[in-house]
Amino acid sequence: MLVRFFTDLRAGGIPVTLPEFLSLLEALEARLANLSPEDFYYLARLALVKDERHFDRFDRVFAEHFAGAEKLFEKLVAELPDEWLRQLSERLFSEEEKRRVEALGGWQKLLETLRERLREQKGRHEGGNKWIGTAGTSPFGHGGFNPEGVRIGGAGRHGRAAKVWDAREYQNLDDTRELGTRNIKLALRRLRRFAREGAAEELDLDGTISSTARNAGLLDIRMQPERHNAIKLLLLLDIGGSMDPHVRVCEELFSAVRAEFRHLEYFYFHNFPYERLWKDNRRRYSELTDTWKVLRTFNSDYRVVFVGDATMSPYEIQMEGGSVEHWNEESGRVWMQRIAAHFPRLVWLNPEPEDRWHWTPSIKLTRELIGERMFPLTLDGLDRAMRELRHRTPLTAPRVSQD
């Protein structure tokens, strides 16, 4: 039964390995969990899940698995003789509760209701009503049923009667980003420029030899800082709308970039950059950053990488008020020219296939605006883009066709 849980977890996208599973078994053998599903849940999570972003997935798999156990419980209840259940209830239910059982229509009715509620509970998501276990309101709330270690309801020992894994409290920590980013990281390495800065902690061998010699042979140790990648990167990402099919490749790029660069800043925009950018997509209407501020904050040695499909109506670039979302006082082309003038080293990565660029007027416009420095978001394109960024090209004024 537990082996199936293990395979279910793996199928659910949690990278559980055999040693971790074995350590869970070891923990169970050491009697760390006392046959209560909560203890087992905590223990299993402790041993098997190593990243809080996976907690939500774990909760879902656990709930699914537990649903099977619930069915088992239903079967058991159906098979148990009524007399036995009644005896059990004598011990578990208070007088008042027994009266309420009667009020509900006796045991038959109670069991029916219980089954019904179990079914209802299964379909529920977090935030719903607590059908079973809300102290004092349900006749099942206080009775602890415990066949096969499955406890339903029961007075929550901690005041929370809802099942912990059903609460799915880790929902917004989950991200389903796949980390297939090694190739991208390798391409990004082109953009490494090492520089020594920070604390001096490496032996500078040449320096030591020469200064010892100068010191008449008495040792004089010289230290120097370690080398780090000193490239500064500003990432501007198009989000939403036509970018939706490309989300995955953008996420991969983003996660690789984050790992590779020490100095990394990023902002989002929709379709084309205008006077405001934002950092958090959930708060894109409340936490906006002035594009002027971005230009002031980051100096020209930042390399700028745009990621976007540049596929839109040409009005969105050319006209004031052309933005699909708001009234922009100045056109997108003005903003793009400002950005390109401030950051001489700039590229645009486009997830659309290169052979289609020719047919989209807005791509053509964008390429003109940034001086043809657009590359496809493929490994090869990334490689070319990194070469472009590496050159210390003096600013060539972007060729802009006047209309």
The residues that touch other proteins, with contacts defined as CB under 8 A, are: 15, 17, 19-20, 23, 26-27, 30, 32-33, 38-39, 42-43, 45-47, 49-52, 55, 157-159, 164, 169-170, 199, 201, 218-219, 221, 259, 283, 286-287
Reference 107, options 74, 132, 71, 82; nearest CA is 82
Instruction: Give min distance, CB of 253 to other proteins, in A.
Output: 17
Provide the minimum distance between the beta carbon of 152 and other proteins in the complex, in angstroms, as a whole number.
18
As measured in angstroms, the least distance from the Cβ of 170 to other proteins is 8
To other proteins, the closest distance from the beta carbon of 214 in angstroms equals 16
Measured from the CB atom, is 170 or 306 closer to other proteins?
170
Nearest distance from C-beta of residue 26 to other proteins, angstroms: 6
Q: State the nearest-atom distance from the C-beta of 157 to other proteins, in Å.
A: 8
CB of 137 to other proteins, least distance (A): 19
Pairing of strands 302-307, 346-350: parallel
By C-beta, is 170 or 272 nearer to other proteins? 170
Give the nearest distance from C-beta 217 to other proteins in angstroms: 8
Q: 106-122 and 82-92 are packed helices; what angle lies between their axes, rounded to 10 degrees?
A: 80
134, 164, 183: which is closest to 36 by C-alpha? 164
Our CB check for other proteins shows the closer of 107 and 266 to be: 266
Residue 39 sits at φ, ψ, to 5 deg, of -60, -45
Q: Measured from the CB atom, is 27 or 400 closer to other proteins?
A: 27
Torsion over CA: 272, 276, 281, 284 (sign): negative
Nearer to other proteins, 38 or 251 (CB): 38
Closest approach of other proteins to the CB of residue 138, in Å:
21
Rounded least distance, CB 198 to other proteins, Å: 8
CA distances from 197 to 224, 229, 230, 323 (A): 9, 10, 9, 43
